[in-house]
Amino acid sequence: MSPTCKVDSTSSQLTESDLDITPPRKITKINKHRQQKFRDTWLKNDDYKQWLSKVPDDQYKAKCRTWNVIMNAELTVIKNHMTSKTHLRKPLASQQSISTFIKKTDEISTKAKASQALELKLCGFLAEHNISFTTLDHLTTLLKSSVPDSEIVKNMQMKSTKGTAIVKNVIVEAEKEYLEKNCRSVGSVF
Protein backbone atom coordinates (compact mmCIF):
# COMPACT_ATOMS: atom_id res chain seq x y z
CA MET A 1 0.00 0.00 0.00
CA SER A 2 1.41 3.27 -0.95
CA PRO A 3 1.02 6.36 1.06
CA THR A 4 -1.39 8.83 -0.28
CA CYS A 5 -1.76 12.39 0.44
CA LYS A 6 -4.31 14.94 -0.39
CA VAL A 7 -3.14 17.43 -2.87
CA ASP A 8 -4.70 20.72 -3.70
CA SER A 9 -5.74 21.27 -7.22
CA THR A 10 -3.24 24.09 -7.53
CA SER A 11 -0.23 22.04 -6.51
CA SER A 12 1.29 19.20 -8.39
CA GLN A 13 1.16 15.62 -7.21
CA LEU A 14 3.78 14.43 -4.73
CA THR A 15 5.50 11.15 -5.17
CA GLU A 16 6.60 8.70 -2.52
CA SER A 17 10.24 9.69 -2.86
CA ASP A 18 9.34 13.30 -2.17
CA LEU A 19 7.84 12.35 1.16
CA ASP A 20 10.93 10.50 2.33
CA ILE A 21 13.30 13.39 1.70
CA THR A 22 13.99 15.44 4.74
CA PRO A 23 15.40 18.90 4.44
CA PRO A 24 19.18 18.96 4.77
CA ARG A 25 20.50 19.92 8.18
CA LYS A 26 22.29 23.15 8.48
CA ILE A 27 25.84 22.50 9.50
CA THR A 28 26.50 24.62 12.51
CA LYS A 29 29.87 26.19 12.65
CA ILE A 30 31.70 25.23 15.79
CA ASN A 31 33.34 28.30 17.22
CA LYS A 32 36.69 27.34 18.59
CA HIS A 33 37.87 29.60 21.36
CA ARG A 34 41.36 30.78 20.63
CA GLN A 35 43.53 31.72 23.53
CA GLN A 36 44.91 35.22 23.50
CA LYS A 37 48.55 35.88 24.10
CA PHE A 38 49.62 38.42 26.68
CA ARG A 39 50.05 41.83 25.09
CA ASP A 40 52.70 44.23 26.30
CA THR A 41 50.42 47.15 25.44
CA TRP A 42 48.31 46.18 28.45
CA LEU A 43 51.24 47.11 30.68
CA LYS A 44 51.18 50.63 29.26
CA ASN A 45 47.45 51.05 29.90
CA ASP A 46 46.80 53.20 32.98
CA ASP A 47 44.06 50.86 34.18
CA TYR A 48 46.30 47.80 34.25
CA LYS A 49 49.91 48.90 34.68
CA GLN A 50 49.71 49.19 38.48
CA TRP A 51 48.74 45.59 39.09
CA LEU A 52 49.06 43.50 35.91
CA SER A 53 52.21 41.63 34.97
CA LYS A 54 53.30 39.03 32.48
CA VAL A 55 53.82 35.39 33.52
CA PRO A 56 57.36 34.60 32.38
CA ASP A 57 56.83 30.92 31.52
CA ASP A 58 53.41 31.10 29.86
CA GLN A 59 52.51 33.62 27.16
CA TYR A 60 48.80 32.80 27.53
CA LYS A 61 48.64 33.84 31.20
CA ALA A 62 48.61 37.12 33.09
CA LYS A 63 49.28 37.80 36.76
CA CYS A 64 47.66 40.15 39.23
CA ARG A 65 50.50 41.45 41.41
CA THR A 66 48.09 42.75 44.02
CA TRP A 67 46.47 39.38 44.64
CA ASN A 68 49.27 37.19 43.29
CA VAL A 69 46.72 35.42 41.07
CA ILE A 70 47.42 33.92 37.66
CA MET A 71 44.63 34.17 35.08
CA ASN A 72 44.08 33.69 31.37
CA ALA A 73 45.54 36.50 29.30
CA GLU A 74 42.23 37.52 27.79
CA LEU A 75 41.01 41.06 27.87
CA THR A 76 37.57 40.16 29.20
CA VAL A 77 39.06 38.07 32.00
CA ILE A 78 41.40 40.91 32.93
CA LYS A 79 38.60 43.49 32.86
CA ASN A 80 36.35 41.26 34.97
CA HIS A 81 39.13 40.75 37.50
CA MET A 82 39.81 44.48 37.63
CA THR A 83 36.17 45.29 38.41
CA SER A 84 35.69 42.48 40.94
CA LYS A 85 34.93 43.53 44.51
CA THR A 86 37.83 41.63 45.99
CA HIS A 87 40.36 43.19 43.64
CA LEU A 88 39.03 46.65 44.41
CA ARG A 89 39.15 46.03 48.16
CA LYS A 90 42.66 44.59 48.21
CA PRO A 91 44.69 47.68 47.24
CA LEU A 92 43.27 49.58 50.20
CA ALA A 93 44.64 46.95 52.55
CA SER A 94 48.00 46.71 50.82
CA GLN A 95 48.80 50.40 50.60
CA GLN A 96 52.22 51.35 51.81
CA SER A 97 52.45 52.72 55.28
CA ILE A 98 53.54 56.28 55.82
CA SER A 99 56.76 55.12 57.48
CA THR A 100 58.14 53.94 54.13
CA PHE A 101 57.69 57.43 52.73
CA ILE A 102 59.23 59.02 55.81
CA LYS A 103 62.32 56.83 55.45
CA LYS A 104 62.75 57.96 51.86
CA THR A 105 62.39 61.63 52.77
CA ASP A 106 64.80 61.16 55.68
CA GLU A 107 67.40 59.77 53.28
CA ILE A 108 66.86 62.69 50.93
CA SER A 109 67.03 65.23 53.75
CA THR A 110 70.28 63.75 55.13
CA LYS A 111 71.88 63.98 51.68
CA ALA A 112 70.61 67.54 51.30
CA LYS A 113 72.00 68.46 54.73
CA ALA A 114 75.34 66.88 53.86
CA SER A 115 75.57 68.86 50.61
CA GLN A 116 74.66 72.06 52.50
CA ALA A 117 77.44 71.32 54.99
CA LEU A 118 79.88 70.87 52.10
CA GLU A 119 78.79 74.20 50.63
CA LEU A 120 79.30 75.93 53.99
CA LYS A 121 82.76 74.40 54.44
CA LEU A 122 83.83 75.40 50.93
CA CYS A 123 82.66 78.97 51.50
CA GLY A 124 84.42 79.08 54.86
CA PHE A 125 87.61 77.77 53.23
CA LEU A 126 87.46 80.44 50.52
CA ALA A 127 86.82 83.21 53.06
CA GLU A 128 89.55 82.01 55.45
CA HIS A 129 92.23 81.77 52.75
CA ASN A 130 91.11 84.91 50.91
CA ILE A 131 90.37 83.06 47.66
CA SER A 132 88.12 84.71 45.08
CA PHE A 133 84.50 83.53 45.05
CA THR A 134 84.54 83.37 41.25
CA THR A 135 86.58 80.18 41.60
CA LEU A 136 83.36 78.52 42.82
CA ASP A 137 82.03 78.70 39.25
CA HIS A 138 84.74 76.27 38.17
CA LEU A 139 85.30 74.43 41.46
CA THR A 140 81.75 73.05 41.56
CA THR A 141 81.97 71.55 38.08
CA LEU A 142 85.48 70.25 38.85
CA LEU A 143 84.25 68.45 41.97
CA LYS A 144 81.26 66.95 40.13
CA SER A 145 83.46 65.58 37.37
CA SER A 146 86.16 64.37 39.79
CA VAL A 147 83.81 62.57 42.17
CA PRO A 148 80.92 61.32 39.98
CA ASP A 149 79.78 58.62 42.42
CA SER A 150 79.19 61.00 45.35
CA GLU A 151 75.53 61.90 45.85
CA ILE A 152 76.55 64.79 48.10
CA VAL A 153 78.63 66.44 45.38
CA LYS A 154 75.93 65.76 42.76
CA ASN A 155 73.36 67.63 44.87
CA MET A 156 75.66 70.61 45.40
CA GLN A 157 74.50 73.67 43.44
CA MET A 158 76.79 76.59 44.10
CA LYS A 159 78.28 79.41 42.08
CA SER A 160 79.94 82.67 43.12
CA THR A 161 76.68 84.50 43.92
CA LYS A 162 75.45 81.83 46.30
CA GLY A 163 78.93 81.52 47.87
CA THR A 164 79.05 85.25 48.55
CA ALA A 165 75.56 85.18 50.06
CA ILE A 166 76.47 82.24 52.32
CA VAL A 167 79.53 84.05 53.65
CA LYS A 168 77.71 87.37 54.18
CA ASN A 169 74.44 86.04 55.61
CA VAL A 170 75.44 82.82 57.37
CA ILE A 171 79.12 82.66 58.28
CA VAL A 172 79.54 86.35 59.18
CA GLU A 173 76.37 86.35 61.31
CA ALA A 174 77.46 83.19 63.12
CA GLU A 175 80.92 84.65 63.80
CA LYS A 176 79.36 87.88 65.13
CA GLU A 177 77.24 85.90 67.60
CA TYR A 178 80.29 83.88 68.63
CA LEU A 179 82.36 87.03 69.25
CA GLU A 180 79.54 88.73 71.20
CA LYS A 181 79.14 85.67 73.38
CA ASN A 182 82.88 85.52 74.11
CA CYS A 183 83.12 89.25 74.78
CA ARG A 184 80.26 89.18 77.29
CA SER A 185 81.65 86.28 79.24
CA VAL A 186 83.40 86.80 82.57
CA GLY A 187 87.13 87.38 82.24
CA SER A 188 87.02 88.91 78.83
CA VAL A 189 89.13 92.00 78.22
CA PHE A 190 86.39 93.99 76.51
Q: How many beta carbons lie within 10 A of that of residue 106, not counting itself? A: 10
Biggest CA–CA distance in the chain, Å, is 150
Q: Is the dihedral of CA 155, 159, 162, 166 positive or negative?
A: positive
Q: Where are the alpha helices (DSSP H) in 22-97?
A: 75-83, 85-93
59-99 tens-digit pLDDT: 899 998 887 888 999 988 889 888 888 777 765 545 555 66
CB 115 within 8 A of CB 147: no
The mean-pLDDT minimum among 104-113, 143-152, 168-177 falls in 104-113
Q: Burial, 130: exposed, middle or buried (Cβ in 10 Å; 0-12, 13-18, 19+)?
A: exposed
pTM comes to 0.43
CB 20 within 8 A of CB 27: no
The answer, yes or no, to whether residue 30 has pLDDT greater than 90, is no
Element of type H or E holding 9: none
Would you state the pLDDT for residue 36? 87
Cα separation, 42 vs 131, whole angstroms: 59
| Mean predicted confidence (pLDDT) in 105-115 | 80
3-class DSSP state for residue 14? coil
Please report, for the chain, the start and end positions of each structural domain, with discontinuous segments joined by +. Answer: 40-93, 103-182
